Homo-oligomer: A and B are copies of this chain.
Amino acid sequence: MADSSRAAPGGARTAGPRRATKAPRTKPAEVRRAELMAAAERLFLSQGVEATTVAQITRAAGVAKGSFYLQFTTRDELLSALRRRFLDDYLEELDAVVGEVPEDHHAARLAVWTAVTLSVFLDGAAQRGLLFAAPGDYAAPTPASPGGGNGAVERLTALLEAGARAGTWRLPAARATAVFLFHGLLGLLDDRAGVDREALEEAAMALVERLVLASD
């Protein structure tokens, strides 16, 4: 602030005792960014998003506070980046795996959609709560916010409609079913107290089948 009373910063290493090999202090932006995101993810998980400060993140990442702002303009931007990355990965996997199933195997596609969703949110369980805390975060893109929605429900809706058209199942409201199904699944994940993965997957699959394939 002052013209002439600015402190003279100093070097100061982070830690590391020797640096025998290389360990360049200066890393590619990509790497730094990834390290910060990883550190943040860990902290968000253990303390919650709100309780985590930029200082903690940089400390955990082993960089100075200022370095954070070399990668993100804002604490919030990090959050968005985390969200986006998680979603992108999820949707990418969804598309890849579902894409391998022949288009007219609707039931199989549904099973695969469910399995992938379950597995992604199981592994990234934490992200789920961390990144989609606000109600509406899973919501469909509305005219008001066309960027909304997360893609998963949209894909599922399309899948359900295709199956309905083909007569694989009968569904009065594909979109509502998709939403119900998606959230039901996530709820299951939230709730899994002492339930092992196997059992969880089995139960989930059964419920999905009941819901979609119900003869009624």
Contacts and interface: CB of A to CB of B under 8 A. Distances in A.
A127 to B, nearest CB: 10
A2 B183 CA distance: 27
Closest 6 A/B residue pairs (Cβ): A183-B187, A129-B135, A2-B51, A184-B184, A180-B184, A214-B214
Which bracket fits the contact residues of A?
35 or more
A193 interface: yes
Given A139-B190, A184-B187, 12 more contacts: A3-B75, A125-B135, A129-B135, A133-B134, A135-B190, A138-B187, A140-B193, A176-B203, A180-B184, A181-B184, A184-B184, A210-B214
Contact of A51 (B4, B128, B153, B172): B4
Given A180-B188, A184-B181, A215-B214, A134 B129 contact: yes
Contacts of A60: none
Contacts of A204: 176, 180
A38 interface: no
Interface in A82-98: none
18 contacts: A2-B47, A2-B52, A3-B51, A5-B51, A50-B50, A135-B190, A142-B193, A153-B191, A172-B203, A176-B188, A176-B203, A176-B207, A179-B187, A179-B188, A179-B191, A183-B183, A183-B188, A183-B190
Contacts of A76: 3-4
Contacts of A153: 191
A159 interface: no
A16 to B, nearest CB: 24
